[in-house]
Amino acid sequence: MTINRDFEEQSAGAQVGVGPFYDNANAPTQAALDTQVMMDSPEAKSRSPLVASLRRFARDKRAMISLALIVIIVGIAFIGPLIYMHIGPTIIGGPSLQDHIGPQIYHDPTHQELTRLNQPPSAAYPLGTDQLGRDILARLMAGVQVSIVITAVVVTFDVVLGLVIGTLAGFFGGWMDTFLARFTDLMFAFPILLFAILAAATLGPAFIDRFGPSGRLLLVALALGFTIWPQMARFVRGQTLSLKGQQYVEAARSVGGTDRAVIMRHIVPNLFNIVLTAATLDMVGIITAEATLSLLGLGVQAPGSSLGLMISDASGQIYIQWTEVLWPVLVLAALVLCFSFVGDGVGDAFNPRTKD
């Protein structure tokens, strides 16, 4: 093997770290793996590596605060609306403009109160209303729900597909490996967002016909999932390749372990750290990508709500009611920052190179 060969590997590895969300420093390396046993502190030796990692993570203040904030934001977004629907004074409005309507009606994220456009915060509308007289707080909660649901679906897709194809490609090589390499090359030259934009614009109407209003969400999730998994698969493949050369795998084979047993018992459990770290960092990318798609008018459509859609709507109202754009921006910033702090913390805690 020549040096050039190594350098090819290196540039292939670099391709895996596509986009802003992978930092090569965070990707556990072969060297890290080798030193895992040596580096564990004596007190950690008595515990399983998982417990040690969790302890390290629990000691990371920034990550823990972020995690708590995520739990709070998500909790408010999913449980909040149930309570919020019953809080608020009766106001005069409605379709006839003279009805007495309660919070059950005007705290619905799609309800338009046409006499109350672009209002500042008030008792009825804690964060004010948008340019169509919809309650901003209700829409924020609905928007966060969308972000979280899409993230959950895409990450599941990402992990399952990345893990299965990455492991098989790394372990067996052959056509699966070739397919993965070619497909990643293709997706690398096809910026993720461009593909998702294309899919959302061309297939959107068909999905809405078939699956109703939520068809668009499904499509966005599918498009993002389809483009994101090759990165994960490349990570997993690289790690599988190096695990395959480890002595304990050789030992397992020599005592008659089948391929299946070796993969399930010795390879997959050792992929946990790398998959967890990559998946957490992917979440940041997914939230951003969904918001970007909606911002471009290709993701969630009105009357549905999404943080990206809210930013795009509100940026036209900056001169009229400037707080409108502030809320979705702050919530999105909080979500994205918290997820990346948690991702950073997970990367540190589960990377065997980091010591206490």
Partner 1 sequence: MGDFLSGAVPVILGLAVLALLVLATLRLGIRFVIRRLVGLVFVIIGVTFITFIMGYFAPGNAVYTQLGQHYTKEAYDHLTQFYGLNLPWYQQYLNFLARLLHFDLGYSFINEADSVWTILGRYVPASAVLGIGGVVLAVLVGVPLGVIAAVRARTRVDGTVQGVALVLFALPSFVIIPLFDLVMVWLHSQGLPSLAVSGWGTLDTMIAPIVIFSASIFAFYVRLTRSSMLEVLGQDYVRTARAKGIHERMVIWRHAFRNALIPLLTAVGPALAFAVVGVFVVELLFNIPGIGTETIAAITQRDFPVVQGTVILLAVTIVFMNLLTDIAYGFADPRIKTE
Binding residues (CB under 8 A) for partner 1: these are 2-4, 7, 10-11, 14-15, 17-20, 22-25, 182, 185-186, 188-195, 197-199, 201-203, 205-206, 284, 288, 291-292, 295-298, 308, 311, 314-315, 318-319, 322, 325-326, 329, 332-333, 336-337, 339-341, 344
Closest contact distance (angstroms) between CB of 49 and partner 1 is 23
CA 285 – CA 252 distance, rounded (Å): 38
Answer yes or no: are the C-beta atoms of 93 and 58 closer than 8 Å: no
Nearer to partner 1, 111 or 237 (CB): 237
Quote the least distance from Cβ 295 to partner 1, whole Å.
6
The residue among 27 and 91 lying less far from partner 1, judged by its C-beta, is 27
Q: Which is nearer to partner 1, 66 or 167 (CB)?
A: 66
Q: Cβ closer to partner 1: 54 or 208?
A: 208
Minimum CB distance to partner 1 smaller for 153 or for 335: 335
Q: Give least dist CB 198 to partner 1, A.
A: 6
Nearer to partner 1, 206 or 261 (CB): 206
Shortest distance (Å) from residue 17 CB to partner 1: 6
Closest CB 152 distance from partner 1, rounded Å: 19
Report in angstroms how near the CB of residue 81 gets to partner 1 at its nearest. 24
Question: For partner 1, which is the closer residue by CB, 32 or 268?
Answer: 32
- Residue recorded with tokens 């209303």: 129
Closer to partner 1 at the Cβ: 135 or 324?
Answer: 324
CB of 146 to partner 1, least distance (A): 16
Nearest distance from C-beta of residue 165 to partner 1, angstroms? 18
Q: How far is the first Cα of the chain from the last one, in angstroms, to the nearest whole number? A: 38
Residues 6+ apart with CB under 8 A from 57: 63, 64, 345, 346, 349, 350
Residues in CB range of 29: below 8 A, 6 or more apart: 353
Cα 48 to Cα 134: distance, rounded to the nearest angstrom: 52
In terms of Cα–Cα distance, which of 160, 178, 182 is closest to 170? 178
The long-range contacts involving 48-54, CB below 8 angstroms and separated by at least 24 positions, are: 49/352, 50/272, 53/273, 53/349, 53/350, 54/349
The residue written with tokens 């459509």 in the block is 301
> What are 134's two structure tokens?
């919809």
Is residue 294 exposed (0-12), middle (13-18) or buried (19+ Cβ within 10 Å)?
A: buried
Residue 109's SS3 state is coil
Residues 245/247/253/255 CA torsion (nearest 10 deg): 170
Q: Which residues pair with 93 in a beta bridge?
A: 99
